Amino acid sequence: MQYTLGKRNSHLVVLTTPEQWARICRGAPSGVVPLLGRPDPTEIATAWLRAEAPELDASRWVQDTRITGLLCNQPPADVLQVVSLILNASRAPRRVSPASEITLPDAFTQQVLDVVAARNNWRSSLLQWHSKEGRTSFQRNFLLVAAMFRNAPVAHVYAQTAELSDHLKEREAVALEGQSSPGVIEMVDSIDAELTEDDTVQFSKPGWDDAVLNYFWVDRPMARTDFLAWMAKAPIARTTKFLETFTPEDRLLLANRVGTFAVRWAVRHGKANPLEEVVIAWRKDDALWATAVDLISAAALHPTMSRFVHAVLLRWSKNAAADRSALQKLSVDVCAGEFGRRHTGKALRRLRHVAETAHDDVQASLYRAVRNLWADASARPTLFSSVVEWCSADPSRTEAGRRSFLALATLLSQEDPGLPVLLSTGADQPEFPTADLVSGWRTLLDSGSVASESARAVSLWMDAAVEYPDQRPVVFNVLRGAVDTAGRAGGSHPRHRLRDLLYLWQPVPAVDADPERVRLRHELVDLLDHDRSRSVALYRPVRVGRGGPTP
């Protein structure tokens, strides 16, 4: 290739990530990779600040020695985290000392100090707050819930604090009814927050809510399991005790908050426990399930999170335990989306493991995933080969192969709406060997588990034989081969099933029946009977005489 390119005075340019290049560069000539150097963190921060907040003096920020210290030698991803903190600090309401404004640093200095503290997860400030004399567990839990329930009505923060206290088995008695326990305003004041006009809790320190969650996780290792159980169920909670309504939009905002925390923590610590709790708890709520799929799909495409998430999806696809079927289903749903289109090989590997599942809802998701992946023309040959392999492989994958082939057999071409895609021909259509089509149809007709869907598949293919005469030989040969039981176990059940399905397609006799449909039905049934008579002839008894065996 190098010789050919040089002869033509041409170059091959490959744009890829450093991680991807490290995997594919074996055998490449030396010197083909230009030394791009490391991007200047200060320049990255300046460019982003000017783009996101033109009103800010970006130069003043990046030239401050304390900010420079945070940016020095940092990769672009960490630089963007600092930029996010700067933006949040500049937009946060200014905190005023109750004693005097004169003793406070000027606003910019305060914002810089906030960014530095936020970059260190506000660890010193949180330690000072938690260790203050007289601090109660209810206050600690209220801070934790307020950090998790960002922008939620304070009444629900208050109620969920009691729920969390129960989950953590707190000994301190809390009664929300009446006035024996501290009220909302007192609790908001105790956590150094503010109550907005729409009765939501607002923190004035950038990154404070994330820091609170991180502090709890590090500080209370023995409470993590109970916290995860509460966290996963928090968006599901519904109550009518308050005049304020916890709207569906509020629930989705909270779900995104919970899911984002679970994804980030799982990636950071290399453990999927929070994610698994969330996925299993949200399985029965369609809106929350869609949120979980979206969050993990985004993480699977993220440049820094993707490797860990890919491994988690692979592990989940192998987990067939009854109480963990939600993990398999989520793996399939993610593979059915953008992840499957970008990483088709990886998606099919995960679907291959899921193909062994016995859970109906997971198999239904597999059906949809196969159809979604088919939309990518480049994935079709590999996808079809995988489905055929499931159909002809060990029995544990047969049901998934049956449903997956059914998904393709009943999918119609966009160019020819009456033609199944497995019969269509075109520039972006691979050739499907007759033997592979026979294998898929045989699996479909071997069982009555998908009887109604099989009837639809037979109807579509026979309709195609009527509308597209050039496809009749293919349709007839495939269906005949699918019920050919010569040398196979299973008897004549597939043949009887196909005859029944043909009768459903075109009953005979029938009023106002289309003569062409009747003729085709009779023609195929006669061929099936002929094939049957030939297979029976193999077992015709013979009489051995002196001149040799005679029939």
- What SS3 string covers 152-185? CEHHHHHHHHHHHHHHCCCCCCCCCCCCCCCCHH
Residues 116 and 145 both lie in one domain: no
Instruction: Collect the ranges in the chain with pLDDT lower than 50.
Output: 99-104, 539, 547, 549
CA–CA separation, 263 vs 276, rounded Å?
Answer: 10
User: Is residue 156 in some structural domain?
Assistant: yes
Residues 67 and 175 both lie in one domain: no
Residues 202 and 158 both lie in one domain: yes
Residues 72 and 162 both lie in one domain: no
User: Crossing angle for the helix pair 398-409 and 451-467, nearest 10 degrees?
Assistant: 40
- C-alpha Rg value of the chain to the nearest Å: 33
Closest to 436 in 3D by CA, of 477, 485, 466: 477
Residues 109 and 144 both lie in one domain: no
Q: Cα dihedral sign for 66, 70, 76, 80?
A: negative
What tokens appear for 291 in the block?
């949120």
pLDDT of residue 100: 43
User: Is residue 283 in some structural domain?
Assistant: no
pLDDT of residue 172: 66
3-state secondary structure 71-90: HCCCCHHHHHHHHHHHHHHH
SS3 101: coil
Residues 526 and 446 both lie in one domain: yes
Residues 175 and 209 both lie in one domain: yes
CA–CA separation, 468 vs 149, rounded Å?
Answer: 60
User: Is residue 381 in some structural domain?
Assistant: no
Owning domain of residue 163: 121-228
Residues 86 and 152 both lie in one domain: no
Strand 543-545 relative to strand 548-550: parallel, antiparallel, unpaired? antiparallel
Question: Cβ distance 232 to 277 under 8 Å?
Answer: yes
Distance of CA 436 to the CA centre of its chain: 30
pLDDT of residue 173: 61
Total domains, the chain: 3
Closest to 401 in 3D by CA, of 419, 413, 383: 383
Residues 112 and 134 both lie in one domain: no
Residues 45 and 67 both lie in one domain: yes
C-alpha dist (Å) from residue 96 to 92, 185, 440:
12, 19, 72
pLDDT of residue 20: 77
Picking from 63, 85, 120, the residue at the C-terminal end of a domain is 120
* % of residues, the chain, pLDDT over 70: 88
Peptide bond into 509 cis (omega under 30): yes
pLDDT in tens, 72-100: 989 888 899 899 999 988 887 765 555 44
Output b/e per residue, 239-260; b: 16+ Cβ within 10 A.
eeeeeeebeeebbebbbbbbbe
pLDDT in tens, 434-491: 999 999 999 998 876 667 888 999 999 999 999 999 999 999 999 999 988 655 555 5
